[in-house]
Amino acid sequence: MANQMREAAIVGIHEYPLRVAPGRSAMQIKVESIKAALDDAGLKWSDIDAVYDTNDGEGGGGLGMAPYLGLKPTVIDTTQVGGSSYEFQTAHALRDIAAGKANVAVLTYGSTAASSRRAIGTGGATGQGLPNWQGNMEDPYGMITVGNYALVAHRHMHEYGTTTEDLAEISVATRLHATRNPEAVKAMTDLQFMGTGEITIQDVLESRMISDPLHLLECCMQSDGGGAVIIASRDVARGTKKKPAWIIGTGEAIKYRENGGDITTSAAAQGGPIAFAEAQVTPAEIDIAMIYDSFTITVATILEDLGFCKKGEYRDLAKGGRFRFDTALKPTLNTDGGGLSSNHPGMRGIFLLFESVRQLRGESTSQVAGAKLAIAHGNGGALGGTHAGGSVILAAD
């Protein structure tokens, strides 16, 4: 059990500041981020003995990353489950450190999705690569990334009466937080958003329909970016520069299309309870919910699945400005501005960890006073089809 034992903590973070970074490679973004995250922790290059990688640089996963860095780590992990990779890797780092296999782990991300015009968010398409069992059954029908999520949204609306107004609460609160984060404002400016100020529910309703029922202002941006996380053992964490954010619970699960299955329920329904049981806390105690906002429906579904409300009751949870940093209701949502309005280079999971840590340290631009508990939940793959869900519950020192 790795619960309140506090065997490992996030001790260093760095979010790469630019969302449009032409002329840089993913590997360079990763390395600049490691240096800054080590500095944030007060640790040095030679302290790293575990490398976790998603194969997002110029290839090779951990096998490519360690040689580029010039390290000979004792743990190499190339877990790649899309946007939730970093929550899975955090879970693995906790286990590896608790088992005595490593003391200082590094997780990195680098992406040039905007500069290289990779298709994600509103732009994603399918149907490339070798002939395969899934593609042959789906490619003739024209699935696109946002369409996959829209399938979830329509069924959610049909079964529970959820409306676009309900979902738009996520866009509105997230944009409020983005307007307070200078890096998010710069991101929206550099990516030529039509406006970078606060938005209303009406603005969301009137934005262009992308794939019914999801509107433009319900979809994530497509940016460059990256960053690094340093996770250390209890002994190392006691001597780092800033207050550690203790990893007190983790959960991992996948979900996929099944005959008769419930598309409105995500992998979080399986992995979330495991994380909460390990952490010995309840959803009601969570101050900060950093939930992967590829699209509004992703957040609504995951909040239900993690137990912030019952399945189908998101519409009630969303009321009263609950998600804003400046109301007393919990949980506060995506205080960095989210994938909708701050940073989404394709795999947002690592940014959920950054902002959770900032809140627990008291460093957020939309700080919730006295935040003690945060959950980062990454969703990788596609919500309406095959996807992975990883939960990490963090506690302040």
Partner 1 sequence: MPDRPQPRFPEPNTQKYWEAVKEGRLTYQQCADCNTVVFTPRILCTGCGSSNLAWKDSSGEGKVYTYTVVRQNRNPSFAPLGAYVLAWIDLDEGFRMLSNVVGVNDPTTDVKCDMRVKVEFEKQDSGEYPIPVFRPV
- Site residues (CB under 8 A) for partner 1? 119, 123, 125, 127, 131-144, 147, 150-155, 158, 209-214, 257-261, 263, 384
Distance of CA 237 to the CA centre of its chain: 23
- Smallest gap from Cβ 295 to partner 1, in A, equals 12
Helices (H), the chain: 26-41, 61-69, 85-98, 135-138, 145-160, 164-179, 182-190, 201-206, 234-237, 268-279, 296-306, 314-317, 338-341, 349-361
Closest by CA to 272, choosing from 316, 308, 239, is 308
Return the number of the residue (70 or 133) whose C-beta is nearest partner 1: 133
To partner 1, the closest distance from the beta carbon of 356 in angstroms equals 32
Instruction: Answer whether 86's CB lies under 8 Å from 353's CB.
Output: yes
Nearer to partner 1 among residue 23 and residue 260 (C-beta): 260
CA–CA separation, 353 and 121 (whole Å): 21
Instruction: Give least dist CB 138 to partner 1, A.
Output: 5
What is the rounded distance in angstroms from the CA atom of residue 149 to the CA atom of residue 255? 14
Nearer to partner 1, 119 or 191 (CB): 119
Of 150 and 237, nearer to partner 1 (C-beta) is 150
Residue 179: C-alpha distances to residues 186, 196, 219, 377 (Å): 10, 7, 17, 23
> Which of 35, 257 has the CB closer to partner 1?
257
Q: Least CB distance from residue 149 to partner 1, whole Å? A: 9
3-state secondary structure of 349: helix
In the block, tokens 């992990």 appear at 77
Report, in Å, the least distance between residue 323 CB and partner 1.
Answer: 25
Residue 388 CB, shortest distance to partner 1, in Å, is 19
Cβ nearer to partner 1, comparing 152 with 353: 152
In angstroms, what is the minimal distance from the CB of 211 to partner 1? 5
What distance in Å separates the CA atoms of residue 163 and residue 153, rounded to the nearest whole number? 9
Cross-strand pairs, 247 = 394
Pick 257 or 319: Cβ nearer partner 1 = 257
Count CB neighbours of 397 within 10 A. Answer: 14
